[in-house]
Amino acid sequence: MSGADILESSAGGSRLEIRDLHVSVDGKPILKGVSLTVEPGQRHAIMGPNGSGKTTLAYALAGHPGYEVTGGEVLLDGANVLEMEPDERARAGLFLAFQYPAEVPGVSNINFLRHAVNAVRGQPVSVFELQKEVQAAMRALGMGEDFTRRNLNEGFSGGEKKRNEILQLALLKPRYAILDETDSGLDIDAVQIVAKGVMELGRPDMGTIIITHYSRILRYIPPHFVHVMVDGRIVRSGGPQLAEELEQSGYEGFRVEPVETAS
Amino acid sequence: MSGSGTAASGTGQTVAEAEAALENLARTGAEPPWRLAQRREALAAFTALPMPDPLRDEDWRRTRLDGLELHSRPVQALGVFAIEGLAEPARQAGAVACRLGEALTAQPELVRRHLGSALAPGAGKFVALAQALAQDGAFVWVPDGVELQAPLVVRDGIEGPEAGFGAFRHTVVVLGAQARAHLVVVQRSPADRRPGLVCSAVEVVLGPGAQLRYTQVQDLGPGVVRLECRRALVGRDAELAWTDCELGARLARAEVETVLGEPGGTVTTGGLSFGHRRQHLDVLQRVLHVARHTTSDLAHRIALRDRARSVFRGIVIMQKGCAGASSQQHAASVLLSPEARSDAIPSLFIDEDDVRAGHGATSGPVDERVLFYLMSRGIPRPLAERLVLEGFFAPVLARLANTPVYDELQHRIDQKIGA
Ligand SMILES: Nc1ncnc2c1ncn2[C@@H]1O[C@H](COP(=O)(O)OP(=O)(O)O)[C@@H](O)[C@H]1O
Ligand SMILES: [Mg+2]
């Protein structure tokens, strides 16, 4: 990297910046102006009722073709994410742990991991090295040995799929990760294991967006900020105590006029 | 000029050529008189039988032989035909696996007993052609109770003049009671556009409790028309597994009939058709449930690029008296271009109350949800598509696990994905 490059990237800022994002699905506006900045090492929780647009935000960031961005911008360390294909976003350091990961028949987990790791790291990893890394991460996540040979997510239980998402996070070491309801469908022990995986297997300076309904997972992935999303907008932002508050009172109080978030 | 007219003029040439060829063969004295008589009988049947008529013959409605020309030297083909894999203990136990010609010389009585037992001479237009003109073929005989541990591999590497060739094959596989074998046939010809006709007749007879896996990789050149007819008689509690991998040829037609004539007989199929450009790949599986408690399970996986076309017909006939029989069929198609077309047509004819039968088919482009998932992990779209297709064909490839052709097939599929 030349000195000029470093200047430019620091000028763009080392952060994931979502500015006034508008997203439509099938022509219907879902996100109506979302702004959020995630700095390296920061953890942001997004909570909100079903249908408020949390998954839409996650998909739009990952580049799902069915989610049309109609306004706003997303910058990753200054680079325009919205111009990138989904695979380019991943190689730039973005990662989405899916709420409902797809099943891929006939493609073994290990074969998939090899291709993903090679693509993201930009250089081929040796089979031996990969196996070692995978085994270590699987042990940490409490996954059985046979996971590598099984077809990617095919016939996996909900909980197995979620663990598999975090296994991928552990290997791809993204700079910014979005966890879309990674905790739902997991029992309390599993939540703890998976959360520990996120905290310990990712990069120490990973910026994280945790989408969740429950404050439970936030005990193990303590957020620096909590945001409340209602009807396609962030209607309130606060510190970690906001999560507890929501757990008590629910989202009823937020169904009113959207509050302008700090920019 | 009508399509069938063109084809008929082609066959006219063939008959003249064929008669001359049989005269030559008779003069060499290479084959016993009974064999020559069978050939002549088949040739007479070929001459007498009409060409398939797409207007009248339902089985030929979607595959037209309009362009079929049998060229100036239709009877000629060169190349290498080899069969490997018969282990010494099996040979000592009496098993035979060799070229049909060799078997005729070494064990004429054995061949005479079995040749024509599943396909009578002239059982169909193209069966007759293959029987009359067969230059080569495999003869496999496994005595009662003998199990072949390793697969037998037939390598049929067809060469021929650039101007065009005709390769004719007659293969016979007979398994005695409780015998077991896996036969893998790989058919290849040069990858250039030289025209050719490859016409094969395959007979299979399984004794009680026998188990045969018959696997074929059809990887002929892009100028070739391939017509293959197979018929199998499945004995009591015997099991037959067909795996057809249709990759090559301009037009490929495989017509496979399995007769479940004894109680407890089973047939499964699990093949693939992978076409590109203007390839036309047609697989017809016909199963006759005659006896009680017979089962059939027909599955086929199809992927098509460009303007390729696939036809998969599963015709299941459940005759009166086949009580307790069951039949399933499923065709899955992935269309990689909007111009590609896949027809999967199940036909069930049921004349018995106490049976179960079902069928299903799926068809569509590559699942975008799956592609997005793979791409979200940094995998570029072309590689993601390749992984999805490899995964789609994986269950078929699994049927070839532990055979010497597994890697070749995988490689050819990869090549075709990238082509
Ligand atoms: N594919 C789709 N087609 C039409 N509407 C959709 C689609 N996906 C999501 N929506 C709608 O978008 C809104 C937000 O959905 P989503 O982002 O999944 O919410 P959340 O993740 O917060 O539960 C909902 O009203 C939902 O009905
Ligand atoms: Mg959601």
Gap from CA of A54 to ligand 2 centroid (Å):
5
Positive or negative, the CA dihedral A100, A105, A109, A112 is: negative
Is A56 a pocket residue for ligand 1 (Cβ < 6 Å)? yes
Gap from CA of A212 to ligand 2 centroid (Å):
9
* Residues shown for chain A: 263
Q: What order do you get walking across the sheet with B180-188 strand by strand?
A: B78-84, B152-159, B180-188, B211-219, B239-246, B266-275, B295-304, B326-335, B356-364
Model pLDDT, residue A6: 41
Gap from CA of B3 to ligand 1 centroid (Å):
55
Q: Ligand 1 test: best mutation among A31, A32, A55, A64, most atoms within 8 Å of CB? A: A55
Q: Which atom of ligand 1 is nearest the CA belonging to A181? A: 21
- The residue whose C-alpha atom lies closest to atom 20 belonging to ligand 1 is A51
State which residue of chain B sits closest to A96, comparing Cα positions.
B376
Opening angle at CA B180, ends B176 and B182, nearest 5: 125
Is A233 a pocket residue for ligand 1 (Cβ < 6 Å)? no
Question: CA nearest B124: which of B5, B255, B15, B2?
Answer: B255
Model pLDDT, residue B9: 34
CB contacts of B368 in chain A (<8 Å) are 65
For B47-106, what is each residue's pLDDT tens digit? 899 888 888 888 888 888 876 654 444 566 778 899 999 999 999 999 999 999 999 999
Model pLDDT, residue B287: 98
Is A53 a pocket residue for ligand 1 (Cβ < 6 Å)? yes
CB contacts of A97 in chain B (<8 Å) are none
| CB atoms B373 and A105 under 8 Å | no
| Å between A214 CA and nearest CA of chain B | 26
Could you say which of B368, B378, B390 has the minimum Cβ distance to residue A90? B378
Q: Which amino acid is at B70?
A: L
State which residue of chain B sits closest to A67, comparing Cα positions.
B372
Q: Are B229 and B198 in contact (CB under 8 A)?
A: no
Give the ipTM of the model, two decimals please: 0.93
Q: Give the C-alpha separation, B230 to B127, whole Å.
A: 8
Q: Are A16 and A57 in contact (CB under 8 A)?
A: no
Model pLDDT, residue B95: 98
| Å between B330 CA and nearest CA of chain A | 16
CB contacts of A120 in chain B (<8 Å) are 377-378
CA A129 to chain centre: 26
Question: CA nearest B181: which of B194, B168, B172, B193?
Answer: B172
Q: Residue A216 is encoded by which pair of tokens?
A: 């439970």
- In this structure, which ligand is nearest to the CA of A46? 1
Q: Which residues in chain B show pLDDT less than 50?
A: 1-10, 70-73
For testing the chain B interface, which of A94, A99, A100, A115 should be mutated: the one with the most B CBs within 10 Å?
A: A115
| CB atoms B368 and A65 under 8 Å | yes
Q: Which of residues 195-254 of A touch B (CB under 8 A)?
A: none
State which residue of chain B sits closest to A104, comparing Cα positions.
B370
Q: Ligand 1 test: best mutation among A21, A26, A52, most atoms within 8 Å of CB? A: A52
Model pLDDT, residue A170: 98
For testing the chain A interface, which of B376, B383, B385, B414 should be mutated: the one with the most A CBs within 10 Å?
A: B376
| CB atoms A104 and B388 under 8 Å | yes
Q: Could you give phi then psi for residue A187, rounded to 5 degrees?
A: -75, 170
Question: CA nearest A24: which of A69, A74, A71, A84?
Answer: A69
| CB atoms A116 and B392 under 8 Å | no
Cβ-proximal residues to B147 (8 Å cutoff; 6+ apart), any chain: B179, B180, B181
State which residue of chain A sits closest to B380, comparing Cα positions.
A87
pLDDT along chain A (263 residues), means of 10: 42 84 97 98 96 97 97 96 98 97 96 98 94 96 92 94 97 98 92 96 97 91 96 95 87 62 49
Model pLDDT, residue B310: 98
Q: Which atom of ligand 1 is nearest the CA belonging to A57? A: 17
Chains A, B: CB contacts within 8 A come to: 81
> Domain ranges in chain A?
3-233
Is A148 a pocket residue for ligand 1 (Cβ < 6 Å)? no
Establish if A155 touches chain B: CB-CB under 8 angstroms. no
For B372-404, what is each residue's pLDDT tens digit? 999 999 999 999 999 999 999 999 999 999 999
Q: Give the C-alpha separation, B414 to B325, whole Å.
A: 39
Could you say which of B368, B370, B378 has the minimum Cβ distance to residue A104? B370
Gap from CA of A213 to ligand 2 centroid (Å):
10
CB contacts of A115 in chain B (<8 Å) are 379, 383, 387
Model pLDDT, residue B17: 76
Model pLDDT, residue B14: 64
Cβ-proximal residues to B304 (8 Å cutoff; 6+ apart), any chain: B273, B274, B275, B276, B310, B333, B334, B335, B336, B337, B340, B341, B342
Q: Residue B353 is encoded by which pair of tokens?
A: 């109350």
Establish if A122 touches chain B: CB-CB under 8 angstroms. no
The dotted CATH code for A3-233 is 3.40.50.300
- The residue whose C-alpha atom lies closest to atom 11 belonging to ligand 1 is A51
CB contacts of B394 in chain A (<8 Å) are 105-107, 151
Q: Which atom of ligand 1 is nearest the CA belonging to A58? A: 17
Q: Which amino acid is at A73?
A: E
| Å between A115 CA and nearest CA of chain B | 7
Q: Residue B3 is encoded by which pair of tokens?
A: 């399509």
Q: Give the C-alpha separation, A19 to A56, whole Å.
A: 15
